Chain A
């Protein structure tokens, strides 16, 4: 079983719809992250969370919200989806120590298309 699981893997929806992407992990890590990747671009950070009570905005948080329901679960919501939010979304986790030996571990991504 994957350590970082994202659901759904693919989603097609319409402009204006509310979308929730879910991430769960079995690694026991405190830190969780949401990134998006656009074609030909690197990953950009949307939100990150150090623990259940700590949520922080990343580089591109506008139009998104998150919820950390438990240590193992971190959800990303698009309240009113728009076409330029079409992208590949990745969830990641890391150990709180943040040492050289504890890099971020990624899920396999959710491909989201907004028509």
Chain B
């Protein structure tokens, strides 16, 4: 049973517009969430994270929103740039468990059209 779900396999956005990538989770024990970006032939690269004590975290063009009651998080990219075209993975962990194991979603492929 998938504990972290990214229901949109792909997303296309015009350059300069907002990209919104969504992620849902089922395990209420998750207390730390991350987004990774992956280019072809490279490993995932950490993008941004948020702990369950917050509902928003910003880093430049990237903002992650967390809605704990809905078990939903989203990544906003504003403005979107062609270099943002990649596969984005949502991941979650239970920091309190001490193992720092990450559970990943299947990923969303973002295409930013010039």
Contact = CB atoms under 8 A, between A and B. Distances in A.
Contacts of B100: 31, 94, 98, 104
Interface string B86-108: 00010100010011111111110
Interface stretch (B43-51, B65-73, B75-83): B43-51
Contacts of A51: none
B110 interface: no
Nearest to A111: B41
Interface in A1-33: 4, 31
A103 B34 contact: yes
Given A48-B101, A94-B100, A42 B107 contact: yes
Task: Classify chain B: how many residues form its interface, as a range.
Answer: 20 to 34
Interface in A35-74: 40-45, 48, 56, 58
Interface residues of A, number: 23
A26 to B, nearest CB: 15
A109 B49 contact: no
B104 A43 contact: yes
Contacts of B46: 103-105
B93 to A, nearest CB: 8
Given A90-B44, A106-B44, A42 B106 contact: yes
A113 B94 CA distance: 33
B98 A90 contact: no
A108 B41 contact: yes
Contacts of B107: 42
A31 B102 CA distance: 13
11 contacts: A40-B9, A42-B89, A42-B103, A42-B104, A43-B44, A44-B104, A90-B44, A98-B95, A103-B49, A106-B36, A109-B43
